């Protein structure tokens, strides 16, 4: 008895319903957005963490609109959309935390730690809430608003301060908004570093 080989067209027809059920989500944009610090630490520089001198930078909390990889666009007092074809490489609060850490280390001369290293050299602790980190369509500006909380080593009081930067944009697209947000984030990080170094 001779065994018949299945015809290629029949195999393709059998697989067609299966492929129609499988979805891998939307394709990511051609490029992903990130932040880069204007002030950077030189390579090879050793900084001893003396008592009270180290700064621990904790990723800020965020509202739900920023708890995604997309860029929020404030379209009105009570409405938010997302910028087309714009996506962060990692959550914006982590990107902003890293930018803060780099800027503080480069401009204050203090060693900067993350939360896991805090017990090694407790000193100044910076935390806060990233309230806005996106585009305001009503004013055509990239906006970064950071409510910072600072606990200095040995002090009972907690210092709080709001920092905000706005950078005008000419177009509402990823290529224009990304550098504007980077500029605004660097402005805020620089002001936070001055506050810590004061």
User: Which residues contact residue 28 at a Cβ distance below 8 angstroms, ignoring those fewer than 6 apart?
Assistant: 87
SS3 86: strand
Q: Is 128 exposed, middle or buried (0-12, 13-18, 19+ CB in 10 A)?
A: buried
* pLDDT tens-digit map of 169-180: 999 999 999 999
What's the confidence (pLDDT) of residue 18?
42
Domain assignment present for 46 = no
Residues of the chain short of pLDDT 70, as ranges, are: 1-28, 44-51, 117-122, 154-155, 198
Question: Which alpha helices (H) appear in 109-136, and where do they start and end?
Answer: none
Domain assignment present for 22 = no
- Regarding pTM above 0.85, the answer is no
Domain assignment present for 115 = yes
Asked if residues 44 and 146 have their Cβ atoms less than 8 Å apart, the reply is no
What's the confidence (pLDDT) of residue 3?
57
Asked if residues 101 and 112 have their Cβ atoms less than 8 Å apart, the reply is yes
Domain residue limits at 67: 52-197
Asked if residues 125 and 151 have their Cβ atoms less than 8 Å apart, the reply is yes
Question: Which alpha helices (H) appear in 33-137, and where do they start and end?
Answer: 92-108
Domain assignment present for 30 = no
Per the structure, the count of domains in the chain is 1
Question: What does each C-alpha distance from 163 to 21, 99, 123 come to in angstroms?
Answer: 48, 15, 22
Domain assignment present for 16 = no
Domain assignment present for 2 = no
Domain assignment present for 93 = yes
Distance CA 91, CA 67 (A): 7
What's the confidence (pLDDT) of residue 46?
65
CATH number at residue 103: 3.40.50.10610
Domain assignment present for 157 = yes
């Amino acid at each position: 008895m001779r065994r018949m080989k299945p015809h290629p067209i029949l195999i393709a027809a059998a697989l067609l319903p299966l492929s129609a059920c499988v979805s891998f989500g939307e394709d990511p944009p051609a490029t992903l957005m990130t932040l880069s610090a204007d002030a950077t630490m030189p390579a090879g520089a050793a900084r001893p963490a003396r008592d009270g001198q180290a700064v621990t930078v904790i990723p800020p909390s965020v509202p739900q609109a920023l708890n995604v990889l997309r860029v929020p666009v404030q379209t009105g007092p009570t409405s938010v959309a997302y910028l087309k074809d714009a996506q962060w490489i990692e959550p914006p609060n982590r990107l902003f935390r890293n930018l803060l850490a780099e800027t503080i280390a480069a401009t204050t001369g203090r060693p900067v730690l993350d939360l896991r290293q805090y017990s090694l050299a407790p000193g100044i602790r910076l935390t806060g809430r990233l309230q806005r980190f996106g585009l305001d369509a009503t004013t055509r500006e990239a906006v970064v608003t950071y409510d910072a909380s600072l606990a200095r080593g040995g002090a009972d009081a907690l210092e709080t301060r709001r920092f905000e930067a706005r950078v005008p944009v000419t177009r509402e697209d990823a290529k224009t908004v990304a550098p504007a947000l980077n500029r605004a984030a660097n402005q805020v990080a620089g002001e936070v570093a001055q506050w810590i170094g004061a």
